[in-house]
Amino acid sequence: MDELRAIAARVAASAAELVHRRRTEGVRVAASKSSIVDVVTDADREAEDLVRSMLADLRPTDGVLGEESGAASGTSGLTWVVDPIDGTVNYLYGIPHYAVSIAVVEGDPRPDTWRALAGCVHNAATGESFTAAAGAGATVGDRSLTVAPAVELEQALVGTGFGYTPEKRAEQGRTVAALLPRVRDIRRMGTASLDLCAVADGRLNAYFESGLQPWDHAAGALIAVEAGARVVGRGGVPADHRSIIAGPPEVVTRLEALLDEIAPLG
Ligand code: IPD
Ligand code: CA
Q: What is the DSSP string of 185-240?
A: EEE--S-HHHHHHHHHTTSSSEEEESS--HHHHHHHHHHHHHTT-EEE-TTSS-SS
The pLDDT of 57-65, averaged and rounded, is: 96
Q: What pLDDT is recorded for position 26? A: 80
Q: Is it the case that residue 70 has pLDDT exceeding 90?
A: no
Q: What pLDDT is recorded for position 39? A: 57
More confident residue, 197 or 33: 197
Note the pLDDT tens digit of each residue in 224-254: 999 999 999 999 999 999 999 999 999 999 9
CA distances from 140 to 12, 107, 122, 204 (A): 14, 27, 9, 15
Note the pLDDT tens digit of each residue in 177-224: 999 999 999 999 999 999 999 999 999 999 999 999 999 999 999 999
Q: What pLDDT is recorded for position 84? A: 96
Q: Is it the case that residue 62 has pLDDT exceeding 80?
A: yes
Cα separation, 158 vs 15, whole angstroms? 29
Query: Given the CA of residue 216, which atom of ligand 1 is nearest to it?
Result: 9
Label residue 138 by pLDDT band (50, 70, 90): very high
Q: Residue 186 CB: number of other CB atoms within 10 A?
A: 13
Cα separation, 234 vs 21, whole angstroms? 39
CA distances from 48 to 15, 92, 102, 118, 155 (A): 8, 17, 10, 18, 39
- Cα 180 to its chain centre, rounded Å, is 23
More confident residue, 30 or 174: 174
CA distances from 259 to 180, 235, 265 (A): 12, 11, 9
Looking at all shown ligands, the one closest to residue 162's CA atom is: 1
Q: Is 66 in the pocket of ligand 1 (CB under 6 A)?
A: no
- SS3 state of residue 167: helix
**Top-confidence range, 29-33, 40-44, 88-92:** 88-92
pTM of the model: 0.96
Q: What pLDDT is recorded for position 35? A: 61
Query: Given the CA of residue 195, which atom of ligand 1 is nearest to it?
Result: 10
Q: Is 216 in the pocket of ligand 1 (CB under 6 A)?
A: yes
Query: Given the CA of residue 67, which atom of ligand 1 is nearest to it?
Result: 16
Q: What pLDDT is recorded for position 38? A: 60
Cα separation, 262 vs 177, whole angstroms? 10
Note the pLDDT tens digit of each residue in 78-134: 999 999 999 999 999 999 999 999 999 998 778 888 899 999 999 999 999 999 999
CB 168 within 8 A of CB 68: no
Q: Is 165 in the pocket of ligand 1 (CB under 6 A)?
A: no
